[in-house]
């Protein structure tokens, strides 16, 4: 499963404006809801925050992947942002987060969600990829970095 | 000869199952403590914690039973497993596979 086809240039923000976990989740969600009417802001935010309560999505190494399965959406939505300063995200390694991926999946597409989370969490363990992402200046850079990485490692 | 692997999720059946195996002449087996992958994924890898409901059927503890046996014992073992656990009536109780064995070393002849 490739990540790059899910990247949407309008749902990538560099740098993120907020500096708090919940605000950053909201900020990334806004990118999606501003473009796609089927994503309900309130319900989705609630689901994302509920998921954070189970266990943090700050997986360490300056990366967080907030995510949720949502009943009334028909496709996968993906947003990405880079925080200029590290953000406190209750991360497993206590380190501040800079790279934030937000994933929304239709409720019944559990296997898609598992595949995306598994692939993405493996990706971001690669220090070289994280370094390249941190250097990105805009959404085109992000899409290019991901596409190139996937072409090289998962073609 | 065959290697039979039984994945027993409902471990409360273990004692009865082993007694029943002895009754039909199974001379021995190796029993391993095991854990379903879904349980480990959703409880030990935090990014998958949100999928605990999806993996709810994955056992926190199960038993893996290994035994080498004559081919003609397979149907008897299957019958015993059905009789004791009802695994053919309901999913999630147990699974069984049999594999061909192409060498035996260290076994009593």
Question: Which of A55, A69, A113 minimises the CB distance to B46?
Answer: A55
**Domain with B31 in it: what CATH number?**
3.30.70.120
Whether the Cβ atoms of residue A113 and residue A59 lie closer than 8 Å to each other: no
Whether the Cβ atoms of residue B64 and residue B32 lie closer than 8 Å to each other: yes
Q: Give the pLDDT band of residue B107 (cuts 50, 70, 90).
A: confident
With contacts defined as CB-CB under 8 Å, which chain B residues touch A51?
Answer: 50
Report the candidate in A92, A87, A31 with the shortest Cα–Cα distance to residue B48.
A92
Report d(CA A31, CA A144) in Å as an integer.
20
**Domain with A22 in it: what CATH number?**
3.40.930.10
Contact B46 A114 (CB under 8 A): no
Write the pLDDT tens digit of every residue in B67-99.
999 999 999 999 999 999 999 999 889 999 999
**Testing the interface with A: which of B46, B57, B58 to mutate, by most A Cβ within 10 A?**
B46
Number of domains into which chain B is organized? 1
Task: Determine if residue B65 is left, alpha or beta; phi over 0 gives left, psi from -120 to 50 gives alpha, anything else beta.
Answer: beta
Instruction: For residue A19, say if its preceding peptide bond is cis, omega within 30 degrees of 0.
Output: no
Write the pLDDT tens digit of every residue in A78-106.
999 999 999 999 999 999 999 999 999 99
Residues 6+ apart with CB under 8 A from A118: none
Is the pLDDT assigned to residue B109 strictly greater than 70? no
Contact B51 A113 (CB under 8 A): yes
Q: Give the pLDDT band of residue A155 (cuts 50, 70, 90).
A: low
With contacts defined as CB-CB under 8 Å, which chain B residues touch A121?
Answer: 47
Domain range enclosing B38? 2-100
Return phi, psi of residue B2, to 5°.
Answer: -130, 150
Contact B50 A56 (CB under 8 A): no
pLDDT at B53: 80
Domain range enclosing A120? 4-154
Contact B50 A110 (CB under 8 A): no
With contacts defined as CB-CB under 8 Å, which chain A residues touch B52?
Answer: 54
With contacts defined as CB-CB under 8 Å, which chain A residues touch B37?
Answer: none
Number of domains into which chain A is organized? 1
Enzyme catalytic residues of A: 67
In a domain, B107, yes or no: no
pLDDT at B108: 75
Report the candidate in A155, A100, A144 with the shortest Cα–Cα distance to residue A4.
A144
**Model-level ipTM above the cut of 0.95:** no
CB proximity A134 to B under 8 Å:
no
Contact A110 B48 (CB under 8 A): no
Contact A56 B46 (CB under 8 A): yes
Torsion of the alpha carbons at A39, A42, A46 and A49, rounded to the nearest 10: 80
Whether the Cβ atoms of residue B95 and residue B82 lie closer than 8 Å to each other: no
CB proximity A112 to B under 8 Å:
no
Give A60's strand partners: A63
pLDDT at B56: 74
């Amino acid at each position: 499963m490739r990540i790059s086809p899910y990247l949407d240039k309008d749902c990538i923000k560099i740098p993120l404006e907020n500096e708090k976990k919940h605000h950053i989740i909201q900020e990334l969600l806004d990118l999606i809801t501003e473009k796609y009417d089927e994503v309900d802001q309130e319900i989705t935010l609630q689901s994302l925050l509920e998921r954070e309560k189970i266990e943090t999505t700050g997986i360490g190494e300056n990366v967080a992947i907030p995510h949720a399965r949502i009943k009334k959406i028909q496709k996968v939505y993906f947003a990405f942002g880079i925080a200029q300063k590290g953000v406190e995200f209750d991360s497993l390694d206590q380190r501040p987060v800079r790279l934030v991926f937000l994933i929304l999946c239709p409720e019944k597409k559990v296997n898609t969600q598992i595949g995306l989370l598994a692939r993405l969490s493996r990706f971001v363990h690669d220090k070289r990829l994280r370094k390249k992402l941190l250097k990105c200046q805009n959404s085109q850079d992000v899409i290019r970095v991901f596409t190139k990485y996937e072409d090289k490692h998962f073609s | 000869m065959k290697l039979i692997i039984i994945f027993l999720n409902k471990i409360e059946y273990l004692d009865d199952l082993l007694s029943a195996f002895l009754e039909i002449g199974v001379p021995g087996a190796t029993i391993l403590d095991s854990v379903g992958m879904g349980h480990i994924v959703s409880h030990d890898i935090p990014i998958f914690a949100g999928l605990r409901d999806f993996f709810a059927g994955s056992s926190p503890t199960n038993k893996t039973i290994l035994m080498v046996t004559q081919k003609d014992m397979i149907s008897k073992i299957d019958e015993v497993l059905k009789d004791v656990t009802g695994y053919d009536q309901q999913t999630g109780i147990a699974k069984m596979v049999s594999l061909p064995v192409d060498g035996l070393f260290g076994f009593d002849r």
